[in-house]
Amino acid sequence: MLKKELDLGYDECNTSSNESFENVLADRLSRRDVMKIGACFIGASLFGSFGAQLNADDSSTSTSVPAAAVLLGFNAVPKSLADTVSVPAGYTSKVIFATGDPIKMGVSTYKNNGTDSRDFENRSGDYHDGMIYFGLKNDNSGYDATNSKNGLLCMNHEYINQNYIHTTAEVAAIDKTARVTAQVDKEIALHGVTIVKVTDSGSGFGIDKSSSYNRRITGDTPIALNGPARGNVLLQTSYSTNGTMTRGTLNNCAVGSTPWGTFLTCEENWSGYFKGDTRTGKEAIAMSRYGIKSTSHFGWESVYPQFSASITGADATADYRNVANTQGYVVEIDPFSPTSTSIKRTAMGRFAHETASLGKLTVGKPVVFYMGDDAKGEYIYKFVSNQNWDAADANGGLSAGNKYLDAGTLYAAKFNADGTGQWLKLAITEPAISTYTTYPFVDAADVAVHTRIAADVVGATKMDRPEWCDVHPTTGEVYMTLTNNSDRGKSGKYGPDAANPRYYTDTCETTATNKGNVNGHIIRWKETGEEGTATTFMWDIYLFGAQSDANGTNINISGLTDDNDFSCPDGLCFSEVTKGLMWIQTDDGAYTDVTNCMMLAAVPGNVGDGAGYSVANTAVPTNGNADQTIATFVGKDATASTLKRFLVGPKNCELTGIAETPDGKTIFVNIQHPGEEGTASTLTSNWPDGGTSRPRSATVVITKNDGGIVGY
């Protein structure tokens, strides 16, 4: 979701003074002193303690992990501005499910001209995003983790494009203060989640519209509120006066899945859907920190009061002043129980949730999820369950979710300049939080609902927009994309730090000038003792986005070439089948003069496989900050055998969402918002239907023509 980032809350709401300048300076000075010894020595000594361990791991897993050269055996797909999906020679892509497509029998074919006005609860939503494939038994009676021909595809629909879902005349007449109910109904129903059965009966995957599993969860569906905030006054609305229910899930971006067979959908930039008002005291602080503004993005509140986070009644049970407190969570959905009520898990915190990615799973130990908060200068989080994992709970559905996701410990990450890191506990029992006078927290519910403020208090590190993360299937190391940050290095904002070390001007651009961390990077960390419950870790920067012809001293630091250069990593996902292949997807606005967004295949090494590095941020003469040289840690340079472009999408799209079948022979990829820069009268893309059609987001199925595993 690129074009409207400003509207929906990627903007900084974090005005905390975390990482005080004194601390950063002190850290930098001490790092610089060490750097004098020599970068190679730094890398060796810093990572040496588990370097030996990594070598041992390498030998023990060498038989199960294919060699890198074998894994990326395809020819790189060239950068492209064509209005098509390009995949390597020897691969085929096919569109199976686009915006408006029916998910039930008897629903008419989508006309895609703005006049479709009924049945949107029975059609695909818009802006396809994160996605998980769950194998389904051949008799369709339930979950089968091994079935690669019959499954349920669960996908998010992050957003909408009004230009393409209404008629041109309707779009021209939109008045945010007096919306037309039928148009709002359509817009709300195009948000949320789709669960749809997909089957390959011999000629490739297609949608099975007859399945009783098929359903939509939309911006209006009743959803329960569980965890520490359930029933709290902060969640009371006139819809649920006891604060246990809400309606709708919005701006669903990345995803996760649980070991007990459920789908996790993450509510990202939900704040722009609600119209706020002027508050005082704690409420004013909270609304500002979460970016609730006096106008909403779509004006839905002009039709439905549930989108007006304003005081209009006698108390919280008489209006929707608290409705925004019921958004911003990880939502658990049981795809195999079509009549079940989905549940928002408040124990996992409230922010602009991206992925909820399962950590290394061990019987008898807590279940761990890694999460990011995607806005400028926001934080990385970890949830650790109170309950230890019991394999008897596999297939436990939402009741297992109640056991593991309603009680646990939430942490925010602090990345130190010496390559170490800490998980900082966010709990009312922490003295720094319980004694914070600016925003006096009253209980665990207050911390769960106002996670960002608690993370400010403990001093988490402001990151360059945390997007997706995933856990390496064999090393357990965690990779997270930091897509970009135009605030980094900006006058009046925060400067670079070791974990977010770059700011620069994109001087190669021919159509726009971008500043800050323009092309983004991917950070990774290794938990101490390889334990998900650890409160310390080691980190480095796995990969820096850059165009290949950019300055290699402070921009193209990872040695990218024409075959693997990219900008703004967003989607990220390990293949469970190949045990080491990682997909990277881009949501870019900086390199799009040269190429449409893309997907790359990577074979990463380990934290510490590179060296210490000094980034000289010297090329930003007008941003107001003094030039700063930052010491950091960088993974090994990318090579043709460790990073290769696999796919380039159609015009104005973003690549997002990836799922694989258990045999690895089919992958599903989502193409989001093709033609986003256009309007119905000036189309910039006609993908996927061609001709003069309006563009649509869609799921494509990719297979290897020889029937082999994708990625080799």
Out of ligand FEO, Ca ion, none, which partner does residue 506 contact, by CB within 5 to 8 A per kind?
Answer: Ca ion
Q: Which of 101, 332, 406, 467 binds ligand FEO (CB under 6 A)?
A: 467
Which parts of 132-161 interact with Ca ion (CB under 5 A)?
none
Q: Which residue is nearest to ligand FEO (CB)?
A: 253
Cα first-last separation, the chain: 30
- 334 contacts ligand FEO (rule: CB under 6 A): no
Residue 312, φ and ψ in degrees, nearest 5 = -130, -15
Of positions 170, 220, 332, 354, contacts ligand FEO by CB under 6 A: 354
Q: Of residues 587, 588, 660, 676, which one binds Ca ion by CB under 5 A?
A: 587
Q: Which of residues 232-291 bind ligand FEO (CB under 6 A)?
A: 253, 268
Residue nearest to Ca ion (CB): 587
d(CA 24, CA 2): 31
Report, in Å, the least distance between residue 272 CB and ligand FEO. 12
Compare residues 319 and 354 and give the one whose CB is closer to ligand FEO. 354
User: DSSP secondary structure string, 633-689?
Assistant: EEPPPP-TTTEEEEEE--TT-EEEEEEE-TTSSEEEEEEE-TTTT--SSS-S--TTT
For strands 222-226 and 343-345, give the pairing: parallel
Q: Residue 446, interface with ligand FEO (CB under 6 A)? A: no
Nearer to ligand FEO, 158 or 456 (CB): 158
CA angle 366, 152, 650 (to 5 degrees): 105
Window contacting Ca ion (CB under 5 A); options: 167-175, 432-440, 485-493, 503-511: 503-511
For ligand FEO, which is the closer residue by CB, 126 or 527?
126
Per DSSP bridges, beta strands 366-373 and 353-358 are antiparallel
CB of residue 266 to ligand FEO, shortest distance in Å: 9
* Shortest Å distance, C-beta 156 to ligand FEO: 9
- Among 374, 406, 470, 527, the residue binding ligand FEO under the rule CB under 6 A is 374
Per-residue tokens: 300: 């839905």
* Residue 170 contact, options Ca ion, ligand FEO, none, Cβ 5-8 Å cut-off depending on partner type: none
What are the respective helix, strand and coil percentages of the chain, to the nearest 5?
Answer: 20, 30, 50
Interface mask toward ligand FEO for 157-176; x: CB under 6 A: -x------------------
Which member of 200, 509, 530, 663 binds Ca ion (CB under 5 A)? Answer: 509
Cα dihedral angle (102, 106, 110, 113), rounded to 10 degrees? -140
Residue found under tokens 């690129």 = 2
Tell me how far apart the alpha carbons of residues 572 and 591 are, in angstroms, rounded to a whole number. 19
Using CB under 5 A as the binding rule, the residues of this chain from 645 to 684 that contact Ca ion are: 656
**Least distance (Å) between residue 418 CB and Ca ion:** 30
- Contact between 506 and Ca ion per CB under 5 A: yes
Show the tokens assigned to 342: 């989905």
Rg, the chain, Cα only: 24
Q: Which is nearer to ligand FEO, 2 or 478 (CB)?
A: 2
One of 508, 530, 679, 708 touching Ca ion (CB under 5 A): 508
Q: Of 268 and 456, which CB lies nearer to ligand FEO in the complex structure?
A: 268
Output 71 or 590, the one with its CB closest to Ca ion: 590
- Alpha-carbon distance of 339 to 324, in angstroms, equals 26
If the CB atoms of residues 403 and 465 are measured against ligand FEO, the closer one turns out to be 465
1 in contact with ligand FEO (CB under 6 A)? yes
Alpha carbon separation from 449 to 10, 219, 349, 467, 620 (Å, rounded): 19, 20, 6, 21, 38
Interface stretch with Ca ion, choices 107-115, 208-216, 221-229, 504-512 (CB under 5 A): 504-512
Nearest to 103 by CA among 201, 194, 199, 222: 194
CB 597 within 8 A of CB 32: no
Minimum distance, C-beta of residue 269 to ligand FEO, in the bound complex (Å): 7
Minimum CB distance to ligand FEO, residue 587 (Å)? 6
Q: Exposed, middle or buried by CB within 10 Å (0-12, 13-18, 19+), for 67?
A: exposed
Instruction: Give whichever of 252 and 703 is closer to Ca ion, judged by the CB atom.
Output: 252
> Cα–Cα distance between 175 and 155 in angstroms, integer?
31
* Count of chain residues binding ligand FEO (CB under 6 A): 8
Total residues found in the chain within this entry? 712
Number of Cα atoms under 13 Å in the Cβ half of residue 389: 20
> Cβ of residue 711: shortest distance to ligand FEO, in angstroms?
24
Kindly state the smallest distance separating residue 466's Cβ from Ca ion, in Å.
10
Q: Is 393 in the site for ligand FEO (CB under 6 A)?
A: no
Which option in Ca ion, ligand FEO, none does residue 174 bind, with CB closer than 5 to 8 A by kind?
Answer: none
Q: Count CB neighbours of 36 within 10 A.
A: 8
- What single-letter DSSP state applies at residue 75? P
By the criterion CB under 6 A, which residues form the site for ligand FEO? 1, 158, 253, 268, 354, 374, 467, 570
By the criterion CB under 5 A, which residues form the site for Ca ion? 506, 508-509, 570, 587, 590-591, 656
